[in-house]
Each structure stands twice: as C-alpha cells, then as structure tokens.
Structure 1
Amino acid sequence: MNEDNKPAVWEMVVVHRVFRREFRLAPEFVRQARPGDAARATLLAAYVNEMLTGLHHHHEGEDKLLWPVLLTRVTLEAELVRTMEAQHDRVAAHITALERLLPRWAESASAELRDQVADALDGLHADLLPHLDQEEKEILPLVVEHMTKAEWDNLSESARGQIPKDRLLINLGALLEDATPWEREAFLGLMPGAARLLWKVVGRRQYRNEVARIRGAA
C-alpha cells in the first residue's frame, strides 16, 4: 500500500505526547499553588479541566470509532482491544473524581482540596502512561494493517471537532511544543494556508502567553 494511503498513526503519537507532558506537569503546578490564592486555583482548575475534557473526547472517539472497527477484523487480538477498553474505564474513573474536586478547590483554594487534586492527578498519570505506551506499541500497528485511511481520518476529524474554535490555536501550540521538525511540518501542512498564517501571526504568541500563565507562577 502506498504510504499516503495508510492511516497517519503518527498523529496519535503526537497527541499522546501532549497528554504525557501536561498530566506530568499538572500535579506539581497544583501543589505549588498557595492556599487562599483563589485566582491561581481557578486558573489551574480550568487548565486541568480542559485537559480532562480533551482526554475524555480522545478516549470517547476511540470507543466509538476505533475499537468497534478493530474488533471486527483482529480476532486474535480481541482480548487486547478489551484490555484497552478496561484501561479507558480506569482513566474515566480518575476523570470523574477530578471533575468533582476541581470546582470545590477553585471555590475554596484550600490546601486540603489542593492536595487532593494533586494526588488524583498523580493517580491519573500513573494509569494513563502504561495505557498510552501499550496503545502505541500494540494497537497502532494493527491500525496500519487493518484500518483504512478514511476510517482513521474520521477518528481524527471527530477529535478535532470537539475542540472549541477559540482554543484551536492553543491546542495546535500544545501539539507542536514537543513535535519533531518533521511532525511540525506535517501538522502545519494539514492546515489551509490562511490557518498557517494565523498560527504564525497570532497563534504562536497566544500559546506563549498561555504557557506563561499556567507555568510561569510555578
């Protein structure tokens, strides 16, 4: 098969890199927030919540558009797919717990709730990493072998469609931050010319400012 007609699974590797980075950094940012600093607690709660929403939609897309396709085509690996689904359930439990904690912390800015949020983020990170590793090692090769480019593109489009329009440039910056030069050019090459210009003129500055707001105080 021509490489251009194969699923571009490298896209998911870059997305996973964002989740690895942000959920590694987030617990420390939270722990460094001063008790009583409601503005900082509110800012970090919104940042974490946005990442949780992104992770939820990422896994929801896989549940709807990836696992059902693979289960019809990879009989010998069906147990592996079910393992992925079980891992999603564990991650979802962490997301649910954090969604309950974050508004309470943002409102109170208490040390106790701050530490509960940080600990919950540690738990999420601990369960997320092996899932992402196994998915990249064992699932993505099956995608290349058993899924069409159109099916994969449908999954990618579904994920992009969940991002609010006013956050598209911020999400692009997150993807490009740790991207290799090839990945960076490939991602930008997927965008219309006007969108690439917007990234250069506006997006890069917006993302730098976003990073400074979240990480600068830490």
Structure 2
Amino acid sequence: MDTGRQPRTTGETVDTWEMVVIHRWFKREFAQMPALVRGVAPGDRDGARYVAEFIEMMASLLHHHHVGEDEMLWPRLLERVGGLDSELVQRMEQQHEVVGKALERVDELLPRWKQGADEAIRNELAEVLEGMSGPLIEHLGEEESKVLPLVSVYITQAEWDALGRNGASGMPKGAKGFDTIGMILQESTPQERAGFLRLLPPPVRLLHKLIGAGIHQRAKARRRQIAA
C-alpha cells in the first residue's frame, strides 16, 4: 500500500446499499445470458433480434455504470484514501479490461447474429458471455467487499447522490425502462425495494405500480421460456 499521502475522510458515513442492489442485478442477468443466447434456435431471426436487443441494453447499462465509477468515484478515492492497495487496484483494472474486451466482441457479434440467427455466431456469442461472467462477478463482488467500505467514509453523500443520478440518466425509457426497474428489484429485500422506489420520480413510481411491474413480469417470462 502506498502511504505517501495521509487519508482524508469526509466526516460523513454514506450507506452504499443501492450499489449492492445494482450489482446483484448485473451479476444475475449476465450469468443467465449464455443460456438465453443458446435458447434461440438457428434461423430464428425474431428470437435472435429480441435477445440481441436485450443484451445490447444490458451491455450499454453496464458500460454506463463503469464509466460513472471511473469518472466520479475512483479519482476521488485515489486522492483521498492516501493510497489504495496496489494489488487491489491492479486486479480491478485487469477485471475491467477482461470485461471490456468481452463487451467489444459482443458488440461485434450481435449485429451479425441479429441479422441471420446463425448458429456458429450464436455459439461464439454464448461462449464470450460465459467467459465474461466469472470476471464480472468477481469484479463486482470485490467492489462490494473492498471498495464500498472505503466509499462509505471517503465519499460525501452529495457525491454519492450525484453518482446515483448519473446511473439513473442511463436508464432506458418506456417498456424497457420498466423492465429494467423490475429486474433491479427482482431479488431485493422489502427494505431495499422500498428504498429504491423512493429514489424514483413520483410519476415513474406510480406507473411502475400500475403497469411497469406487469411489463417486467411478461418480459421475464419470455426470457425464461427462451432459455428453458
């Protein structure tokens, strides 16, 4: 560990529960993607288009999540902690690189698969997603166990709230947005659910209750049917 600088805490204690909920969603959905891809029969262009658009959405959301951390979280931690564990930083960077390269390959394969529902492309796409899932789960888990405790004392509440608003800005609109909210809440505790819903604008919260939950349930059922 670099001890060249003195740690500089904020004097606040930030509750980082939202990040754990978001990570849980990413870990679950990306772990299930290989089966979802393999569940599309060769030549089924409608199925390939549906699954490809879902993966495109999730990959975009994960990229937005990581860019927000890179721009709004890591620079402040590096400045204030007084020196992060160099091995931790190196591992996090390596994990980011593995996930980033996999997402680049996914971006290359998706348009081709969407167009023709080719079996060979489908199989390669599933393999790339499968190879990415482990490093992603490891990365997000290490963020929770090693980084979030630092965030709670080295990041202010205002900075944390700004990161949350940045994450919300990348959320899709319409039906995909309600499906996303449903996925995020899928495995939440009652306390997490209530807390997350309070973060939503009142009109979105009302629409989620009236129609959004149903949109998510139908989308989830379709994905499960494909992956079965």
Distance in 2 between the 1:35 and 1:186 partners? 43
Distance in 2 between the 1:200 and 1:69 partners? 37
- Tell me the CA shift for residue 82 of structure 1: 4.5
Shift of the 162–192 alpha-carbon distance from structure 1 to 2, 3 Å rule, reads closer
Among 85, 91, 95, the residue aligned to 1:83: 91
Distance in 1 between the 2:26 and 2:200 partners? 22
Question: What aligned pairs does 1:12-161 form with structure 2 within 5 A after superposition?
Answer: 12-77=19-84, 79=86, 80-161=88-169
Distance in 2 between the 1:189 and 1:8 partners? 15
**Structure 1: which amino acid aligns with 2:39?**
Q
Among 187, 191, 194, the residue aligned to 2:203: 194
- Tell me the CA shift for residue 85 of structure 1: 3.0
**Structure 2: which amino acid aligns with 1:149?**
Q
Distance in 1 between the 2:40 and 2:204 partners? 36
Distance in 1 between the 2:80 and 2:202 partners? 38
Distance in 1 between the 2:204 and 2:37 partners? 33
**Structure 2: which amino acid aligns with 1:147?**
I
Aligned length: 214
- CA deviations 1:114-135 (Å, max 9, x no partner) are 1000000001102101101111
- Cα pair 1:67 1:81 within 8 Å, conserved: no
Asked if 1:163 corresponds to 2:171, the answer is yes
Normalised to the residue count of structure 1, the TM-score between the two structures is 0.93
- Cα pair 1:94 1:120 within 8 Å, conserved: yes
- Tell me the CA shift for residue 190 of structure 1: 2.1
Provide structure 2 residue ranges, at least 5 long, that are not aligned to the other structure. 1-11
Distance in 2 between the 1:62 and 1:195 partners? 25
- CA deviations 1:24-65 (Å, max 9, x no partner) are 111011112111111111111111111111110010001100
Shift of the 25–136 alpha-carbon distance from structure 1 to 2, 3 Å rule, reads same
Distance in 2 between the 1:25 and 1:94 partners? 16
- Tell me the CA shift for residue 86 of structure 1: 3.1
Provide structure 1 residue ranges, at least 5 long, that are not aligned to the other structure. none
Further displaced range: 78-87 or 134-143: 78-87
What secondary structure is seen at the aligned counterpart in 2 of 1:72?
A: helix
